[in-house]
Amino acid sequence: MSSAKISHADAPASATGNNIRFVLDGAVVSVADVSATTTVLEYLRETVGRTGTKEGCAEGDCGACTVVLGETTVDGDMRYRAINSCIRFLPTIDGKELVTVESLAGDGDTLHPVQQAMVDQHASQCGFCTPGFVMSLFALYLHNPLPQREDVLDALAGNLCRCTGYRPIIDAGCSLPAYVAPERWSRAAAQDSRHATLLKSIQRDKMLTMPGFRAPRNIDELASAYAAAPQSLLLAGGTDIGLWVTKQLRELPPIIYLGEVDELQRIDATPARLRIGAAVALTDAWEVIFARHPTLRELAQRFASPPVRNSGTLCGNIANGSPIGDAMPALIVLGARIELRCGANTREIALEDFYLGYQKKDLAPGEFVVAVKIPAQQPATLLASYKLSKRIDQDISAVCAAFAITLKDDRIDAVRIAFGGMAAVPARARVTEEALLNQVWNQATIDTAITALAQDFKPLSDMRASDRYRLRGAGNLLQRFFLEHNDETPLLRTHQALSSLSSTTDTTP
């Protein structure tokens, strides 16, 4: 990457039309001659020599590479979010503001409050993960003036530390409101119009085109570009495709990037349905989904990590078609449909019909996912999605289950059950559903249905779980769902045991 040409110039857009341009520390950076798959981390460390940002895993799972990306919202405000720089390709930050750990401290070594809080709480030991934690806390700091402990935990769910046990880092996050606003990167300074103005100066009229990379600006451009070159690779958040480069060392086909396509950024909410565009980040998608379906909140929180959710897209999770994508079971039981487009032609299919086999989808060459549509549910529908994994945060499911059951009196009037991790594709449990439909909503029915699961699925054994545990777990999640929606609900979740303890968190010194 050392051959990359960088210029720090406010050159007119036309002269640098094929350069990647972004804002770093108050200046426009213009980069030419980089490979389309150069990661932001690679660029920072190897071209600019900003080595504060670290590589811990090169797959977005440890957070050592966390940086913050600033964009203008539709209201013209600045919005800053943490992302994993190790799997984010540099061309995709064109037109955005990049903030790294080196950006935060003020003159004369004055640390930013998130940095000072980490020092004050003795929250670094080996220090290698620390810049990533600092940046995740920085993103929290900018959008949440009074973070509660839960907010801090959520913000740090994508950062691994092997030394501290996390306590002092959590304390640092919780102590942020006690610090005086810094001169640099206070909440007010982050909203200073200079940021938005500078960003505006590097927005484009025409698509960014460079060798192996195109970023269409509207859906017609996208459709024609893809139809003309169906061997191209569609890239959205890159939280999976990034790993093809960093882990599998693959040479990618020419990339068509979805992140600048205007129509794909939209969320349309009507009483009848939600429609979420293909470039909408998981963070935003989940927010509107669990606002409508509050019982999906836990799934939303446990879906990957904030930096992954900030880059990755819901439709990317769908189009990827992994058998263990966590969104699919819930979307399938919600009756989600996807809009597809190929050239000028559009069609719409049920999400569950999209998956034909392992890594096989009902997609024609040149066809792409435009949006997912989630219909409103009948008011009486009981809805839940659960996942089983070895760790609560940032883990891939052994089993992910979703249930939607509508009761009429005491009978099951409608039922949709779907699982991830149980088959080669995310799939409905048709035999189990059959065993439940029109039956009385009681334990005997559930017992029968649990037995039926073995006819629906013959799961695999792998490093996440054995076939036996998957089948057992799947049945027991149905059991949990029943108990959770029963008149005499027992305590069902381990965290409920916490309330029985007195609140005595105390640590010396």
Partner 1 sequence: MNNVAASAATSAEIAESAPIAGQSVRHESAHLHVSGRAIYADDIALPANTLHAAFGISRIAHGNITSLDLTTVLAAPGVIAIATPADIPGENNYGGIIHDDPIFTDTLVQYAGQPIFAVAAETCIAARKAAARAQITYAELPPVLDIRSALAAQNFVMPSRHLLRGNPDEAMKSAPHRLRGTVTMGGQDHFYLEGQIAIAIPHEDGAMLIHCSTQHPTEVQNIVAHALHRPAHAITVLCRRMGGGFGGKESQPALIAAAAAILANKTGRPVKLRLDRDADMLITGKRHDFLADYEVGFDADGRLCALKLMLASRCGYSADLSGPIADRAVCHLDNAYFLEHVDITTHLCKTNTVSNTAFRGFGGPQGMLIIERIIDDIARVRGLDPLAVRRRNYYGIGERNTTHYGHVIEDNILDTITDQLEASSDYQTRRAALVEWNAQNKIIKRGIALTPIKFGISFNATVYNQAGALVHIYTDGTVLLNHGGTEMGQGLYTKVAQVVATEFGLPLSAIRTSATDTSKVPNTSATAASSGADLNGKAAQAAAQTLRDRLVAHACQTHQLTADQVHFADGHVYLGPQHRVNFKDLVASAYTARISLSSTGFYATPKIHWDRSRFNGRPFFYFTYGAAVSEVAIDTLTGETQLLRVDILQDVGISLNPAIDLGQIEGAYLQGVGWLTSEELHWNGKGELKTHAPSTYKIPSVRDWPLHANIRLLEHEPNREDTIHRSKAVGEPPLMLCISAFLAIRDAVAACGKSGALPELDAPATPEAVLRAIDSVRHDGAHP
Binding to partner 1 (CB under 8 A): which residues in 106-125?
109, 111, 114-116, 118-120, 122, 124-125
- Looking only at residues 350 through 369 of this chain, which bind partner 1 when binding is defined by CB under 8 A? none
User: Rule CB under 8 A: is residue 74 a binding residue for partner 1?
Assistant: no
CA distances from 490 to 386, 405, 476, 482, 486 (A): 17, 20, 15, 11, 9
Q: Which of 323, 244, 239, 321 lies closest to 281, judged by CA?
A: 239
- Letters for 423-452 (x = contact with partner 1 by CB under 8 A, - = none) are ------------------------------
Least distance from partner 1 to the Cβ atom of residue 62, Å: 5
Closest CB 131 distance from partner 1, rounded Å = 5
Q: Map the footprint of partner 1 across residues 382-401, applying CB under 8 A.
A: 388-396, 398
Residue 310 CB, shortest distance to partner 1, in Å, is 17
253 preceded by cis ω (within 30°)?
no
Site residues for partner 1, 142-161, by CB under 8 A, read 149, 152-153, 156-157, 159-161
Kindly state the number of chain residues that form the binding site for partner 1, as judged by CB under 8 A: 101
20 phi/psi in degrees, rounded to 5: -80, 130
The answer to whether residue 469 forms part of the interface with partner 1 (CB under 8 A) is yes
| Shortest distance, position 319 Cβ to partner 1, whole Å | 20
Residues 1-60 close enough to bind partner 1 by CB under 8 A: 1, 45, 49-59
Does the footprint of partner 1 cover residue 164 (CB under 8 A)? Answer: yes
Rounded to whole angstroms, how far apart are CA atoms 169 and 125?
11
Q: Is 87 helix (H, G, I), strand (E, B) or coil?
A: helix
Q: Does 195 bind partner 1 (CB under 8 A)?
A: no
Q: How many residues does the chain have?
A: 509
267: how many CB neighbours lie within 10 A of its CB? Answer: 16
Q: Which two tokens stand for residue 180?
A: 């005086």
Of 270, 68, 61, 93, the closest CA to residue 185 belongs to: 68
Give whichever of 64 and 332 is closer to partner 1, judged by the CB atom.
Answer: 64
* Closest CA relative to residue 24, chosen from 95, 77, 81: 95
Q: What tokens does 349 get?
A: 């299919």
Beta bridge partners of 408: 411
- Tell me the C-alpha distance between 193 and 78, whole Å: 9
- C-beta of 491: minimal distance to partner 1 in Å? 5
* Dihedral sign for Cα atoms in the order 162, 168, 171, 175: negative
Nearest approach, Cβ of 11 to partner 1 (angstroms)?
29
Q: How many CB atoms lie within 10 A of CB 500?
A: 7
Interaction of residue 507 with partner 1, rule CB under 8 A: yes
Interface with partner 1 (CB under 8 A), residue from 34, 78, 82, 129: 129
User: Which position among 431, 476, 485, 486 is part of the footprint of partner 1 (CB under 8 A)?
Assistant: 476
Q: Which two structure tokens, joined as six digits, stand for 427?
A: 């799939």
Sites for partner 1 among residues 203-262 (CB under 8 A): 246-247, 249
CB of 330 to partner 1, least distance (A): 18
